[in-house]
Amino acid sequence: MAKPSFEQDSQPKEQRAMAVSVLPVEPPLTPTLKELKSDESEHIDIGEIMEELAFADGKTSVATKPIRLQNRNQLNDLTGKEWIQETNSVWFQKGLGKNHVHAKIEQQHPAPFSFQDIGRLICFFTKQGNKVLDPFCGVASTLKACAVTAREGIGIELISKWAELGQQRLREEVPITLSALPQQIIVGDARVELTKLKSESFDYVVTSPPYWQILAKKPDHKAKRERLSYGYATKYSDSELDLGNITDYQTFLHELGICFKECYRLLRKGKYASIIVSDFRHNSTYQTFHIDVIRIMESHGFKLKGITVLVQNSKSLYPYGYPYAYVPNIHHQYILNFEKPTGEKKGKNDSAKAD
Ligand SMILES: C[S@@+](CC[C@H](N)C(=O)[O-])C[C@H]1O[C@@H](n2cnc3c(N)ncnc32)[C@H](O)[C@@H]1O
């Protein structure tokens, strides 16, 4: 790992620092002093460093000074401190709570994600005014997050019931003052609708696809207690175009791959795509779905940049397997973060250098 340089060029030779200790900074967030000096008019502070100075007469002194990054942030509108917080590889799911008035519509869908979690992703991977795509948009959680963070969103949803609830959500849950940028829901099959959109016209793709057939099986104790007793649907639809109704797992992965390939075409180079999935059980098999999604995304050119574990700590525990066998309660999802490579040679500050 490259050590940061803290040469004190402007000081007299005899007073120049000879020993420097730096805590607790990790490259590539640490700029060299030269970089800091090149444009001090535009900078952001991300913390402080301790600097021990040793002088020619044998005396030493310790000073603190701010760690400054040039504000060359091309990715998002966050400050340095906010940026670093979001790179924590564990997030705890945030929801409105099931009794919140704005949770009423999303609850009708069998598997919505929290618009607050998606809002965090959108704020990290885009700037205001950028364009976001969700090819499996359900009840429009992504578009709601786009609306409240001033991004433009386009979502595709096969089932008109979910699309209509999504529209209702945008009308009723987004304050009028935040509705400046357009949010569009296209009703149709993502495999078809994605092909109609313009290449390299999106700044970010974020989605949660169907998890194969997990909702198609006979409602278990959990589904009965948490869905049927409230009159809520336990699956997306009975449509044969619904990817959640494909019976063969490999065929399902193939069809999902058709959508991901299109997402790659639609995304601008150097931009990111986040796929939110969970592993699941099918009969007695533990299906490592997140690994299969990584493999498909990579086969279409995406580069995996990191995984955030999203902890779902408000879910109820069920006694699966008890008292005979180990069967986990799966209470986390994976946010798989990919980049569409630029194809250009990496610069000296590229994060790949610090890997
Ligand atoms: C995991 S849910 C997405 C939920 C969404 N993130 C939300 O918060 O509402 C997956 C969605 O994909 C939709 N879907 C299934 N097959 C599809 C297809 N071929 N084209 C487009 N959408 C499809 C389902 O109807 C379902 O709403």
Per residue in 148-190, pLDDT (tens digit) is: 999 999 999 999 999 999 999 999 999 888 777 999 999 999 9
Indicate the range of 7-11, 51-55, 135-139, 281-285 predicted with least confidence: 7-11
Res 23 pLDDT > 50: no
Indicate the range of 2-11, 32-41, 232-241 predicted with least confidence: 2-11
Residue ranges with strand state E in 267-328: 267-277, 280-282, 285-287, 303-311
Cα 172 to its chain centre, rounded Å, is 25
Residues 6+ apart with CB under 8 A from 320: 327, 328, 329
Number of H helices, E strands in the chain: 9, 12
| Tokens standing for residue 228 | 């049927």
Name which residue sits closest to atom 12 of ligand 1, judged by CA. Answer: 136
Res 272 pLDDT > 70: yes
Q: Are the C-beta atoms of residues 280 and 287 closer than 8 Å to each other?
A: yes
Question: How many Cα atoms sit within 13 Å of 221 on the Cβ side?
Answer: 5
What one-letter code names the amino acid at 193?
Answer: E
pLDDT tens digit string along 35-66?
A: 433 333 355 566 666 666 666 667 666 666 66
Using most ligand atoms within 8 A of CB, pick from 161, 242, 275 the residue to mutate for ligand 1: 242
pLDDT tens digit string along 328-355?
A: 999 999 999 999 999 876 544 444 444 4
**Helix axis angle, 289-299 to 249-266, nearest 10°:** 50
Mean pLDDT, the chain, whole residue set: 83
Q: What pLDDT, on a 0 to 100 scale, did the predictor assign at position 116?
A: 96
Using most ligand atoms within 8 A of CB, pick from 116, 137, 260 the residue to mutate for ligand 1: 137
C-alpha 159 to ligand 1 mean position (Å): 8
Using most ligand atoms within 8 A of CB, pick from 102, 109, 136, 238 the residue to mutate for ligand 1: 136
pLDDT tens digit string along 71-128?
A: 689 999 999 999 999 999 999 999 888 889 999 999 999 999 999 999 999 999 999 9
**For ligand 1, is residue 109 a contact (CB within 6 Å)?**
yes
Name which residue sits closest to atom 18 of ligand 1, judged by CA. Answer: 189
CA–CA dist 236, 160 (Å, integer): 11
Q: What pLDDT, on a 0 to 100 scale, did the predictor assign at position 323?
A: 96
**For ligand 1, is residue 189 a contact (CB within 6 Å)?**
yes
Between 197 and 72, name the one with better pLDDT.
Answer: 197
Name which residue sits closest to atom 7 of ligand 1, judged by CA. Answer: 112
Q: Are the C-beta atoms of residues 91 and 335 closer than 8 Å to each other?
A: yes
**For ligand 1, is residue 202 a contact (CB within 6 Å)?**
no
Name which residue sits closest to atom 13 of ligand 1, judged by CA. Answer: 136
CA–CA dist 338, 275 (Å, integer): 8
**Helix axis angle, 141-148 to 115-125, nearest 10°:** 60
**For ligand 1, is residue 156 a contact (CB within 6 Å)?**
yes
Helices (H), 174-276: 190-193, 221-226, 249-266
**For ligand 1, is residue 241 a contact (CB within 6 Å)?**
yes
**For ligand 1, is residue 113 a contact (CB within 6 Å)?**
yes
Q: Are the C-beta atoms of residues 134 and 170 closer than 8 Å to each other?
A: no
Residues 6+ apart with CB under 8 A from 307: 89, 290, 334, 335, 336, 337
Q: Does domain 80-354 have CATH number 3.30.420.40?
A: no
β-bridge mates for residue 157, sequence order: 187
Residue 271: count of CB within 10 angstroms of its CB = 21
Domain parsing of the chain, residue ranges: 13-70, 80-354
From the number of C-beta atoms within 10 Å of its C-beta (0-12, 13-18, 19+), residue 26 rates as: exposed
What confidence tier does 31 reach under pLDDT thresholds 50, 70, 90?
Answer: very low
**For ligand 1, is residue 211 a contact (CB within 6 Å)?**
no
